[in-house]
């Protein structure tokens, strides 16, 4: 079955990696990003590799833009929603800009709620839908200087559990993938910011902050995330809902 898969923040990083992997399975990808030029380039790359894709510009924090998406995409109604868009800001709480704190919450928690609200009616009508949130190890644990990010990612888990209860009457599931650090441009920026905030080298950030809590001492690959997401699309996963799927090299086993 070919599915229409909508990936937010799909132009780069984890989002694009997941999109590429789904395209290789023959699905149609809708690359959603606030940067339409980047989204178009990402969709073009998928098509050049033999996949099917289109680009759409959306600010996931804008309720009106999000509400307009089902009509905008009526030719390719969304079967799978991947809530991946995210940003990071590293600062102690005393110096954390209020508008930046609000922005992180809006993108990573309010956005997924608005998108779910927009696409759930058609999923119910077809009696098939999969909502996959890209959470984080920080959905489960905290790190200093990341109060907004940690709060937003923790919130995703409660949101998913609630929607799982509300969709128990149909073949729709919602789950949250929670990886430890994935080596993406976003994480590369974090390494630099953490080094500055903690007064240590970037190598020390990697070894003493990012990988130290992990018994396996390894970054998570985008392919691991993509393959986990693929399983959630299958009929074998129809009763997996409201769950937190952790890819953390043993971090939270401590």
Give the strand order in the sheet containing 80-83: 52-57, 28-33, 4-8, 80-83, 129-134, 172-179, 244-247
DSSP 199: T
Give whole-number Cα distances, 133 to 173, 186, 203, 214, 220, in Å.
11, 17, 30, 22, 16
d(CA 242, CA 252): 19
Residue 149 known to be catalytic: yes
Ramachandran angles phi, psi of 220, nearest 5°: -80, 140
Listed residue (27, 28, 37, 39) closest to 85, CA to CA:
39
Q: Reduced to 3 states, what is the DSSP secondary structure of residue 118?
A: helix
Cβ(222)–Cβ(163) under 8 Å?
no
The DSSP line for 123-158 is HHHHT-EEEEEE--GGGTS--TT-HHHHHHHHHHHH
d(CA 47, CA 146): 37
d(CA 216, CA 57): 38
| Residues with active-site annotation | 149
């Amino acid at each position: 079955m070919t599915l229409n898969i909508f990936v937010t923040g799909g132009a780069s990083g984890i989002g694009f990696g997941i999109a590429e992997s789904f395209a290789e399975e023959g699905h149609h990808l809708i690359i959603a990003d606030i940067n339409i030029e980047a989204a178009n380039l990402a969709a073009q790359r998928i098509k050049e590799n033999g996949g099917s894709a289109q680009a759409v510009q959306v600010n996931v924090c804008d309720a009106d833009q999000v509400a307009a998406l089902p009509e905008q995409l009526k030719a390719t109604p969304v079967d799978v929603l991947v809530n991946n868009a995210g940003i990071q800001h590293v600062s102690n709480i005393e110096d954390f800009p209020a508008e930046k704190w609000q922005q992180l919450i809006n993108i990573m928690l309010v956005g997924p709620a608005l998108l779910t609200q927009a696409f759930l009616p058609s999923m119910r009508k077809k009696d098939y839908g999969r909502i996959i949130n890209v959470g984080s190890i920080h959905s489960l644990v905290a790190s200093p200087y990341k109060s907004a990010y940690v709060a937003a990612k923790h919130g995703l888990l409660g949101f998913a559990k609630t929607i799982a209860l509300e969709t128990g009457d149909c073949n729709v599931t919602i789950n949250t993938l929670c990886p430890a650090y994935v080596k993406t441009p976003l994480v590369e920026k974090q390494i630099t910011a953490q080094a500055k905030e903690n007064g240590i080298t970037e190598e020390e950030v990697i070894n003493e902050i990012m990988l130290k809590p992990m018994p396996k001492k390894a970054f998570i690959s985008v392919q691991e995330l993509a393959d986990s997401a693929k399983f959630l699309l299958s009929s074998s996963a129809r009763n997996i809902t409201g769950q937190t799927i952790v890819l953390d090299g043993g971090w939270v086993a401590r």
